[in-house]
Amino acid sequence: MATTTSKIDSAEVRGVQNQFERWRSGKTGRERIPVKLWGMAAKLCETYSLHRVARSLRLNYTALKLEVDGRSPRRPGFHQRCRKPAFIELTQGNLPAGIIPESSSAEYVVEAPDHRGGTPRILIRHASVLEVAALVGALRTGDGASGRAS
């Protein structure tokens, strides 16, 4: 049975591999990978899978994923470029009647990015869309941080 490899064999990837090897051979200690090299690696992920690029370039998969997702704090000006995502408030008053049911047996998963770059998920069951929207609004403004019921 033939073994398969997840490494990529293309001229484009070999060029980036050579850049990484040149940097690795000249670095001293635990020097961080330059932004330019991270960008080259991330660009390869537009064509190849994250796993294959990370393996071919001998990079940490999670660090490469953060770079590709644009959440890497290594990039200059990262915090200045981050913008709050758009938020649309749904209320019974601004939608036609019957669009939002009063109660629901549906389940909702709310992803709420935190200040450390993580994205915790909250599973909500048996709530109306308005209740979920109110929770999301409270999470965004910080009003729901105390854990008190209204």
**pLDDT given at position 147:** 45
Domain assignment present for 102: yes
- Asked if 71 and 35 sit in the same domain, the reply is yes
**pLDDT given at position 49:** 87
Domain assignment present for 87: no
Residue 20's nearest CA partner among 35, 32, 33 is 33
Angle between helices 35-44 and 50-57 in degrees, nearest 10: 130
Are 110 and 122 within 8 A, CB to CB? yes
Gyration radius from the chain CA atoms: 22
Task: For the chain, 150 residues long, give each residue's pLDDT as a single digit of tens.
Answer: 454 555 677 889 899 999 999 999 998 888 888 889 998 998 898 888 889 999 999 999 988 988 888 766 555 554 444 455 555 555 556 665 655 556 566 778 887 777 777 777 788 877 777 777 777 777 777 655 444 444
Domain assignment present for 4: no
Domain assignment present for 5: no
Give me the domain span that covers residue 109: 92-141
**pLDDT given at position 55:** 92
Question: What is the C-alpha to C-alpha distance for residues 114 and 11, in angstroms, rounded to an integer?
Answer: 40
Are 32 and 74 within 8 A, CB to CB? yes
Q: Which of 80, 102, 129 is the last residue of a domain?
A: 80
- Asked if 64 and 114 sit in the same domain, the reply is no
Question: What is the C-alpha to C-alpha distance for residues 72 and 48, in angstroms, rounded to an integer?
Answer: 20
- Asked if 137 and 116 sit in the same domain, the reply is yes
